[in-house]
Amino acid sequence: MNEPPLRVLFLTPYYKPYLGGIERVIERLSAGMRRRADVAAVGVLTTHFEFPRHWMEGLPARERMDGGVEIIRLPAWPRVAPPYFSVPLVWFPPRAIGAAIRAFRPNVLHWVGDGWFWGHYFSARSAPPGTAVIFSPSFHTLTRDKFWLQPVNIALCRRADRVTALSPLERRAVHRTYHVPARKQVVVPWGVDPDDAPPEPRPAGAPLTVLCVGRLGEHKNQQFLIEAFAAAQPRLQRPARLVLVGRDEGGQQAIERQVRDLGLADKVLITGELTDAEVRAWYHRADLFALFSHYEAFGLVFFEAMVAGVPVLTHRVGANAQLLREGATVCPEHDRAAATESLVRLLNDDAERQQLGAQARRYATTFTWPPVLERFVGLYREALAEREATGNRE
């Protein structure tokens, strides 16, 4: 049987120029798909908003980039979104969503992230019956003020043909919270780009570099890391600096004040947002990567550091302990004393740190994009075949 060429349309509320973890996944999958003979078109249905909820002037409603990926940005009203949810809770005209679906003609809709329910729902309503739907939610435990999201995501999971999870832990959480049948659920971790470049040579007497990559704000919890770094200072056998890479998400002023109050102004560097090449250069300069987010569904930056041969220090939240099985030290959750002890040990013990770095590089190479791409293409084909076999029933 001749399989139809794939026409894959990703959905996410934020896309370029913003590029976080979810958007990075779409970018890498799109690049791989554009090189395949069995993929006719790849697109991204998104908005004019930039994370978090900031309207971007001057961007076209449609454009092509990255080798032919079609970007479709929806109109919205108003242009100022309430600062309440992780995506802009504004009016996206259903007719505009339908027009985008008709123009692109996807046979696969891939919803990446679980917040943009408006786009997800109306894209499924507008798509032809034979269209396969893959849902890749980034699961977070629902707090009391977000519990209204449960029935919404239950309905979306029912419409989806496959629901992916980044780890067995996340799979169980999605199954329990959104009542997804086991036959629909598949574990597909994210990937990283291979990185075989050697670390940069260190000048004699240069300080060790502890690197943290993540948006500066409450979720990434840089202030916890700064506290542990300050507590470690009297016990370090050689100088060390902490480098914070990431755009400001409302937390930079508090971080700068904390750095001053702790007397670390000459030991902490805040770079702001950097290009991909600049971030990779910092991975190559780093001796240790440390991040203590409140939650990580996968932690793409951990694997970006590890594939560059940098050992990781973090704590037991989300899927960290389940995913970071080699090349990493995982402390008890939010335990500052344990984080400080691990930081001191890893910075003082060159042999342990280098051994962990070698383990990290070997382990992270099993999480690269080519096998992830093959898995998703297989899921698209499975879902399309299933829809055809069942007469495209919802």
- What's the rounded mean pLDDT across residues 86-98? 94
Residue 393 confidence (pLDDT): 57
What is the number of other CB atoms lying within 10 angstroms of the CB of residue 223? Answer: 17
Same domain for 179 and 87, yes or no, is yes
- The pLDDT tens digits for 290-337 are 999 998 878 889 999 999 999 999 999 988 998 999 999 999 999 999
Residue 14 lies in a domain: yes
Peptide bond into 234 cis (omega under 30): no
- Domain co-membership, 181 together with 269: no
Assigned domain for 116 exists: yes
- When pLDDT is cut at 50, 70 and 90, the band that residue 120 belongs to is very high
Please check whether residue 338 lies inside any domain of the structure.
yes
Task: State yes or no: pLDDT of 123 exceeds 70.
Answer: yes
pLDDT-derived band at 249, boundaries 50, 70, 90? confident
Least trusted range by pLDDT, from 122-136, 195-209, 303-317: 195-209
Q: What is the CATH number of the domain that holds 319?
A: 3.40.50.2000
Task: Determine the structural domain holding residue 226 and report its residue range.
Answer: 208-366
Residue 192: what pLDDT? 87
Fill in the amino acid letter for 203: P
| Structural domain contains residue 57 | yes
Do residues 212 and 150 share a domain? no
Q: What is the pLDDT of residue 116?
A: 93
In a domain, 110, yes or no: yes
- Both 229 and 118 in one domain: the answer is no
129 and 17 assigned to the same domain: yes
Mind listing the pLDDT tens digit for each residue in 166-183?
988 899 999 999 999 999
Is residue 38 located within the same domain as residue 144? yes
Dist CA 132 CA 394 (whole Å)? 10
Tens-digit pLDDT profile for residues 42-83: 999 999 999 889 999 999 999 999 999 999 999 999 999 998
Reading the block at residue 200, the tokens are 């940069």
pLDDT-above-90 percentage for the chain: 76
Specify burial of residue 270 (Cβ count, 10 A radius: 0-12, 13-18, 19+). middle
**Residues 169, 213 share a domain:** no
Strand pairing report for 49-50 and 54-55: antiparallel
Torsion of CA 127, 67, 368, 159, to 10 degrees: 0
Same-domain status, 69 and 130: yes
